[in-house]
Each structure stands twice: as structure tokens, then as C-alpha cells.
Amino acid sequence: MARWQPNASQRLVAAALELFEERGYENTTVIQIAERAGLTKSTFFRHFPDKREVLFGGGTMAGLLVDGIAAAPAGAGPLEAVAHALDVIGREAFTADHREFGARRSAVIVANPELREREALKGLDLTASMIDALKRRGIPDLTARVAAELGALAWKVAYARWCDTTNNEEFGELARQTLTDVQAASALC
């Protein structure tokens, strides 16, 4: 591919995933990823700070969550605002054509401790983003924290279900149902 073609970021992500599957995360270099994408090492670093980040979407998800919570109807409670954000993510990021990529990405992450650690840290960042967005809606701190934690758990479970390529449900539907299930389960504790 020529260097001037569009979608450098997506090309780098696709190349990284292919190489991580073929060679393993540890045995893949940034230079190899850039070459597979038809780009240079410096182009890679314009888009991602390191090779771990290539599978984690930068700040895209946090932005979608914050915007989704902010755009929830004025009378929405904390969990409904989180559900609205999960709907936004489903429409914007977890589309049907992304499902196979999500399953492949998950398999690569599960196979590597460094990537599992990065995913856990990203999850904490996303939860913190939800807490801040809920507090900006006037939700008290503890309530915002509980709603964000339940939302993060629902997201994680729904994402695993959604990545199952035999499942045809949309992410937003799965996330809403899982959020309801998580809320019901927490009432039993």
C-alpha cells in the first residue's frame, strides 16, 4: 500500500492484529507493524504512543462514553445515562462489521499478560470517565461511582457476549440487558 492512502490508523490496527495473531505480541515490533501497513515507524508513533495502545483505540471510547452520558435525556437516572452511553458505543464503535475484529482482538489480549494489564488499566480510565460525566450531570459522588462501576461491568460482560460471532444481537441491546442483569444481581448481594 502506498503511504499516502487514507486511514493510516485503521491500517496500523489491522496490521498489528494480524501480526500479533501470526507471531505473538512479544515477537512483533512497531517497525513490522508499520511495514505491514505500508507506513513508516514515525507514522505509527503519530497515531499511537506504543505498540500496546494500537489495540485500545486511544481516547475514542472515553469520548463516546462522556458524550453519551451528557446526551442522555435530562430526567435520566444514573444507570439510564450509562445505558444511553452504551447505546452510543454500540452505534458508533461496535457495529456488525467490527464483531469479528473484536473477537480476534479479545483472543490476542487474553493470550498476553501485558495486554490484559493494559486492558484493565483502560477499563479503570473508562470507569473514571463515566464517574466524571455522571458527576457533571449532578449525580452525587457515591451514586456516580456505583453507576459507573455497574456500567463498566455490564460493558465487559456484554462485549464478551457480543464478540461471540454466533450471537447476532447488537451491542447496545446486549449492554442494556446486561446492565439490567447486573443491577438485579447487585440487589441480591
Q: What is the pLDDT of residues 10-63, one digit of tens each?
A: 999 999 999 999 999 999 999 999 999 999 999 999 999 999 899 987 668 899
Quote the CA–CA distance of 58 and 8 in Å, as a whole number.
Answer: 14
User: Is 2 within a domain?
Assistant: no
Domain count along the chain: 2
Q: Is 3 within a domain?
A: no
CATH number at residue 26: 1.10.10.60
Q: Are residues 50 and 62 in the same domain?
A: no
Q: What is the pLDDT of residue 89?
A: 93
Q: Is residue 14 part of a domain?
A: yes
Residue 178 lies inside a defined structural domain of this protein: yes
Task: Please report whether residue 122 resides in a domain.
Answer: yes
Residues 30 and 120 in one domain: no
Residues 14 and 63 both lie in one domain: no
Q: Is the dihedral of CA 3, 46, 91, 18 positive or negative?
A: positive
What pLDDT is attached to residue 43? 94
Q: Give pLDDT, residue 166.
A: 79
Asked whether residue 161 falls in the same domain as residue 129, the answer is yes
Q: Does residue 128 sit in the same domain as residue 167?
A: yes
Task: Decide if 60 is inside a domain.
Answer: yes
For residues 65 and 37, state if they share a domain. Answer: no
Nearest to 62 by CA among 13, 160, 130: 130
Same domain for 121 and 33: no
Write down the pLDDT at residue 31.
97
pLDDT at 58: 64
The reported pLDDT for the residue numbered 168 is 83
The pTM of this model reads: 0.87
150 and 60 share one domain:
yes
* Same domain (yes/no): 74, 158: yes
Determine the pLDDT at residue 1: 45
* Residues of the chain with confidence (pLDDT) below 70: 1-5, 58-59
Tell me, yes or no, whether 40 and 125 share the same domain: no
Q: Are residues 97 and 174 in the same domain?
A: yes
The boundaries of the domain holding residue 153 are 56-184
Whole-angstrom distance, CA of residue 189 vs CA of residue 182:
11
AA identity, residue 183: Q
Task: Kindly report the backbone phi and psi dihedral angles of residue 52, in degrees, each rounded to the nearest multiple of 5, phi listed first.
Answer: -65, -40
CATH number, position 173: 1.10.357.10
Separation between Cα atoms, residue 169 and residue 174, nearest integer Å:
7
Q: Which three cell numbers stand for residue 135?
A: 458527576
Euclidean distance between CA atoms 108 and 106, whole angstroms? 5
Query: What is the distance between the alpha carbons of residues 160 and 103, in angstroms, rounded to a whole number?
Result: 8
Are residues 92 and 171 both part of a single domain? Answer: yes
- pLDDT value of position 4: 55
